Structure 1
Amino acid sequence: MALNARAERTLDALSFFISDARYGLGAFLGVYLLTEHGWDAGSIGAALSIGGLTGLVSQAPMGSLVDAVRAKRALIAGAVCLVTATCLVIPLFPQFWPVALAGVVGALAGVTIGPTLSAISLGIVGPERFARRAGRNEALFHLGDGTICLAILVTAPFFGSPVLFWSMGFTMVASVVAAAAVPARAIDHSVARGLHSGEVAAPGRSAWALLLESRPLLAFAMCGALFHLANASMLGLVSQKLALGNLGQGITLTAASAIAAQAVMVPVAALAGARADLWGRRPLLLAAFAALALRGVLYTLSDNAAWLIAVQLLDGVGAGLIGALFPVVVADLTRGSGHFAAAQGVVGTVHGVGGVLSAGIAGQMVVWVGYDTTFLALAGVAALGGLLFWRIMPETRGMNPP
């Protein structure tokens, strides 16, 4: 009991500090390249898309690696170091191909972080307590991300863009220390990959076969793709509107938008983890679709910076619920398969297709029909995804997959 309590405390620290490495520089990278090195929007999009596509196609094989590797603490620490290193090299070589190559390497490492953290958590607490633990992980992740964004918001006006890289160096060291502090004996490696304690995985079955054979898992993947098709481009579009209307404040307002969402994601993710076993997964995920659709509509009502940032609070509801419940639903539907992390990878790949299409389609729509019509179209996609989810997705709480 004392060992598990210590393991959960270290998981708390790891979930908090790992936030800066999980998605690298995120929305800040494009602003940094634009303002500090004079890149144009086309070059930024092309360079970042290479890493994005790499991350998309590598999720399933990297998930299989997470399932197979028992040294999961070393895997997550190494991934954090690699993501951070690729970000820190960008100021030294801010040319197209070095940035693109750094994005490829960073993407390969970055897609392992979430599944590895989930697997370690499942191996420590077991399936009965996993929903609460996953919600706590997600809440602490957003708390860490929001704290970093707040630090950037406060310090960037005085020290400029270098604070982006100082913060990554600090959180890398803290994440590695936290990963090393997780007691190795507390992790049941069979449970961590979705098996029963002491069970050995049967060879030969792939995670893609698992996805195609499970109608609920396939429904979750397809509905999630519609969610990300509507959601992925919204923050970027809002950041563009804020930057165009408030020249010279791009990084500051991007940080403010992120903080607004993170402030809501923390309690929402914690609530999802605490109530998912009582209320079920389905109503909480339907609420995520509803919040996303409403957010898209509200963006069209005003161009005022305060209003746009306030509407961004709804991002905390949608993303907080989806982020907390994603590994929980996958764990529900893959129990006994031995492919928990790999299944997160294949479902994440399908979700990621929606995200990639979102960026391309929304960007072109803004050129042709403007921001407001684009936001309304994205809201329509979210509403369609919610309706489809309501019709075809069953409740997975207590489900015993074949």
Structure 2
Amino acid sequence: MNPQYALEGLNFFMADVQAGIGPFLGVFLQAHGWHPEAIGTVMTLCGIAGMLATPLAGALVDATHHKRGIIIIAGILTTLASLVLWVSHSYWMVAASQILTAVTVAALGPAMAGVTLGIVRANEFDRQFGRNQVANHAGNAVGAALSGGLGWRFGFGAVFVVAVVFGILTVISTLLIRRDAIDHDIARGLQETAPGASNPGHEHASGFRVLLTCRPLLLLAASLAMFHLGNAAMLPLYGLAVVAAHQGDPSAFTAQTVVVAQLVMVVAACFANRLIQRIGFWGVILITFLALPLRGMTGAMFITAWGVWPVQALDGIGAGLQSVAVPALVVRLLQGTGRVNVGLGVVMTVQGVGAALSPALGGLLAQHFGYATAFLVLGAVSTGSLALWLLFGTTLKKACGIIHGTNNDSPLTT
């Protein structure tokens, strides 16, 4: 099979593996007597575990020639961890299951970026990664629709069956990518050289100096951390809020929240690369930061079954554009350093700080002050990302290559 088609198939099936039963976790635990604060605490533990594992996963992806093996092992372990929840609902068993899921899923982002870069090279990375994300969001929508529909018809057990099926198909799709289709030097961001020639990038491929001296990368990571502090808790909280108000069936409504967002993400990912070429990385990421405060206000005002459409459509715009723009920008900032995947891992780790704290913050606010207040506060917190992005706009625009033809300037010097 053409490795690019295999990549897109892998992204389609891997979407459900990455999510696990995550979108359904809140309502699943709520049905077994859990309160919002306890649910938020478990989600935060998972976020911290994933945050700590991500830079190590990025470094591993840079160092190894077994990138397909990482994806296969992560897919198998994530599926098994999800099945544990069907056996036990105790606090520490649920926490252990979700921590294992977070740690294994942490490897999938850098691994997919590395495999894609190693197959299509830097010049085609943006286009191909956009296609990957279209397939990923489509797979997430299909997986959520199947889980919600079958869960409504047969109970929560169907959600776990769907997870197992998608896990098996993820392994098959990975094996369809030929081992020799991946150039592992290119996959880590080293410059392509003629056959037999030495690659000078190996001289500085080790170490984290390049990450510490790349100011735009750190600004990007900090902005994303504040964004995800407000964003990460909104999807599970909105599902809990509507179900608690007896406005929808737990499985079916949770599936609807995911499907609406993912369908919008498919459209956003389709146009992301074209939008990047038109207004640049800085402008595209600015749009994503603007969408979240509006989403928080909308969620607070409309805790109803139909409110899922505007609330999750705004999520789809932000997440869909970021899913393409952020990895592509990291590749641009670190191209030639040999540390692309560990760089992406560090960005994901810093943003993971915000994502890890978000469920605990949202759950605490929801339990003590109500769901509407939780949405308003989460939306307000996320404006920090917007402020940082605007405050350092000149530096970031130059790094993104949209000031006075700086397209060929090295971002590492800014």
Does the TM-score normalized on the shorter chain lie above 0.5? yes
Paired position in structure 2 for 1:109: 104
Residues 152 and 249 of structure 2 are in contact (CA less than 8 Å); yes or no, is this contact kept in structure 1? Answer: no
Name whichever of 303-312 and 189-198 sits farther off: 303-312
Shift, 1:372, TM fit: 2.7
1:364 maps to: 364
Shift of 1:241: 1.3
Decide whether the 8 Å contact of 1:52 with 1:107 is kept in 2.
yes
Residue 168 of structure 1, aligned match among 163, 166, 180: 163
Residues in 2 aligned to 1:313 and 1:189: alpha-carbon distance in whole angstroms: 37
Per-residue CA distance 1:17-62 (angstroms, 9 max, x = gap): 0001113211212322332x44444544444433322111111111
Residue 269 of structure 1: CA displacement?
A: 1.1
Say yes or no: does 1:65 pair with 2:60: yes
Amino acid at match of 2:87: L
Q: Which residue of 2 aligns with 1:10?
A: 6
Q: Which amino acid in structure 2 is aligned with residue 115 of structure 1?
A: P
Q: Normalising by structure 2, what TM-score?
A: 0.90
| Residue equivalent to 2:196 | none
Query: What residue is the counterpart of 1:239 in the other structure?
Result: 239
- TM-score, normalised to structure 1, is 0.92
Is this contact kept in 2: 1:265–1:317, CA < 8 A?
yes
Structure 1 spans left out of the alignment, 5+ residues: none
- Given that 1:61 and 1:345 are in contact with CA atoms closer than 8 Å, whether structure 2 keeps it comes out as yes
Give 2:74's match in structure 1, choosing from 73, 79, 86: 79
Q: Any conservation in 1 of the 2:40–2:363 contact (CA below 8 Å)?
A: no
Measure, in 2, the Cα distance between the counterparts of 1:248 and 1:238.
Answer: 11
Alpha-carbon offset, residue 204 of structure 1 = 7.5
Specify the alignment match of 2:149 in structure 1. Answer: 154
Q: 1:99 and 2:91 equivalent?
A: no
Distance change in 2, residues 1:359/1:33 (3 Å): closer
Find the counterpart in structure 1 of residue 322 from structure 2.
Answer: 322
Q: Which residue of 2 aligns with 1:290?
A: 290
CA contact (8 A) 2:186 2:192 kept: yes
Q: Give the equivalent residue in structure 2 for 1:211.
A: 211
Match among 383, 388, 410 for residue 400 of structure 1: 410
Which residue identity is paired with 1:87?
S
- Counterparts of 1:204 and 1:16, CA distance in 2: 32
Q: 1:291 to 1:349 in 2, by over 3 A?
A: same
CA 1:100/1:311 → structure 2, altered by over 3 Å: closer, same or farther?
closer
User: 1:135 and 2:130 equivalent?
Assistant: yes
Q: Structure 1's 378 and 48: CA in aligned 2 closer, same or farther, altered over 3 A?
A: closer
1:172 corresponds to which letter in structure 2? G
The separation in 1 between residues aligned to 2:226 and 2:44, in whole angstroms, is: 20
Secondary structure at the counterpart of residue 87 of structure 2: coil
Q: C-alpha distance in 1, partners of 2:24/2:303?
A: 21
- State, as a whole percentage, how many aligned pairs show the same letter: 33
2:20 touches 2:82 (CA, 8 Å); kept in 1?
A: yes
The structure-2 alpha-carbon separation of the partners of 1:129 and 1:336, relative to structure 1 and needing over 3 Å to count, comes to same
Q: Do the aligned partners of residues 239 and 70 (structure 1) sit closer, same or farther apart at CA in structure 2, a change above 3 Å counting? A: same
Query: RMSD of the alignment, in Å?
Result: 2.0
Residue segments in structure 2 that go unaligned for 5+ positions in a row: 194-198, 402-406
In structure 2, the CA distance between the partners of 1:42 and 1:275, relative to structure 1 (3 Å rule), is closer
